[in-house]
Amino acid sequence: MAKPDRLGSIRTLANTAEMETSKIVAERRLALDAEEQRLAQLQTYLTEYAQTGDTQTGLSIDSMRNRRRFIDKIRGGIEEQERVVVGLRQQLETDLANWRDARSHALALEKYQHRQQAEEALRQSRREQAELDEIGRGMHANA
């Protein structure tokens, strides 16, 4: 396989890796958004539930205990959801770093390939010029 072909294959692999990491970042962002929405819903539900309880009077002790336990369960759910969101944020940061690395690698290979192509074009131009100079010298010598 010629050098330009190998470099093209390597660039294709690097671009594919970049696209794959980009997809992972997009999926992770969607997952994070969904989990953040769930967290916001839980927090809103807790606030609303706690406010409705404040306006109720004449609750039995069992009702108050059940209410308190339910509020504690909601708070536990919120804490768990906060851990999920924090974990997804950390994963997203890792995924973004991986994407940046893949992008940097792909761009470096692209730049290298362009430089190689420019150098090859310059070498080809010099060869052609040398051939034309040789033909010119031959014609001058025969004249």
- Residue 84 CA: distances (Å) to CA of 10, 31, 52, 71, 99: 37, 10, 28, 20, 22
Average pLDDT over residues 27-41: 98
> Average pLDDT of 100-129?
93
pLDDT of residue 50: 84
CB neighbourhood size of 102 (10 A):
19
Read off the tokens for 106.
């792909």
Percentage of residues in the chain with pLDDT exceeding 70? 92
Answer yes or no: is pLDDT of 23 > 90: yes
- The pLDDT value recorded for residue 59 is 73
- At 33, list the tokens: 């958004």
Q: Which fold has domain 3-142?
A: Helix Hairpins (1.10.287)
In this prediction, residue 21 carries a pLDDT of: 96
Burial class (CB in 10 A: 0-12, 13-18, 19+), 11: middle
pLDDT of residue 55: 58
Residue 2's pLDDT band (boundaries 50, 70, 90)? low
What ranges do the domains of the chain cover?
3-142
Q: Average pLDDT, whole number, for the chain?
A: 90
Please report the pLDDT score of residue 7 as a whole number: 81
| Burial classification of residue 106, based on how many CB atoms lie within 10 Å of its CB (0-12 exposed, 13-18 middle, 19 or more buried) | buried
pTM: 0.72
20 vs 27, 32, 101, 104, 110, CA distance in Å? 11, 18, 12, 14, 18
- Predicted pLDDT of residue 3: 63
- 48 pLDDT above the threshold of 60: yes
